[in-house]
Amino acid sequence: MKVGARNRIVGEVTEIKKGSLMCLVKLNIPEASRMASVMTLESLEELGIKKGDKVEVIVKAVNVLLVK
């Protein structure tokens, strides 16, 4: 997938908290920091993201997107 955001970081999924519609995906990134992303459960399933996966964190404006 092509995106216009230039702020891209690779991180590791450390935790996924699922609600009834949305989920919170927590990540460790190399810069000794943590980030998180909120997405729908449908998006989580479509991306196939699981704990321990390496994902690309794309930061643009107020959105944090995960790419696997």
pLDDT tens, position by position, 51-62: 999 998 887 666
Which of 67, 64, 58 lies closest to 38, judged by CA? 64
Confidence bin at 8 (pLDDT 50/70/90): confident
The fold for domain 7-67 equals: OB fold (Dihydrolipoamide Acetyltransferase, E2P) (2.40.50)
Rounded distance between C-alpha atoms, residue 41 and residue 22, angstroms = 5
pLDDT score for 67: 83
pTM exceeds 0.95, yes or no: no
